Amino acid sequence: MDDELWALIEPLLPPWPERSPGPRPVSDRLCLQGIPFVLCNDVAWQLLPLQRGFGSGQTCWRRLDRWQKAGAIDRLHRVMFAELNAAGELDWSRACVDGSHIRAKKGGADTGPTPVRRRSTGGRQAVSTI
């Protein structure tokens, strides 16, 4: 990670707690570099190579969780989107705002009985108690 990018990110991260148990932590910068390494190389957190100085996968995962709870990841997203937008690097024609919260339409031509309940029409069946 270059110094210019780190200068944008560092102020967004919460400070390390004064009374933290255990050894002195891996620097935030190295830990932050370990997270994309895991994601981009499709390796398990436990397989993060210690030789690179990122700390253990447990270290990076816990730090990511702490940053998420502190709201740092949301702030990071806003800053990065603003920077990319200012540089003209975003293609807004492909953007989907809150697309994960849009409910799928019910019914339609592709719905019907499930393979498990072959006699079903796709809805709940009334159960006879005779």
Spatial distance between the Cα atoms of 45 and 101, rounded to a whole number of angstroms: 29
DSSP 26-47: PPHHHHHHHHHHHHHHT--GGG
Spatial distance between the Cα atoms of 43 and 57, rounded to a whole number of angstroms: 10
- Give CA 38 to chain center in angstroms: 12
Binning the chain into helix, strand and coil, the percentages to the nearest 5 are: 50, 0, 50
Q: Is residue 111 part of a domain?
A: no
- pLDDT tens track for 22-51: 666 788 898 888 888 888 888 888 888 888
Q: What angle do CA 80, 83, 87 make, to 5 degrees?
A: 140
Q: Is residue 53 part of a domain?
A: yes
Q: Is residue 80 part of a domain?
A: yes
Per the structure, the complete domain to which residue 70 belongs is given by: 26-90
- pLDDT tens track for 10-21: 999 998 877 777
| pLDDT bracket for residue 63 (50, 70, 90) | confident
Answering whether pTM is above 0.85, one says no
Spatial distance between the Cα atoms of 68 and 14, rounded to a whole number of angstroms: 10
Q: Is residue 103 part of a domain?
A: no
Domain count for the chain: 1
| pLDDT bracket for residue 123 (50, 70, 90) | low
Q: Is residue 116 part of a domain?
A: no
Q: Is residue 50 part of a domain?
A: yes
Q: Which residues of 87-112 are buried (b: 16+ CB within 10 A; e: fewer)?
A: eeeeeeeeeeeeeeeeeeeeeeeeee
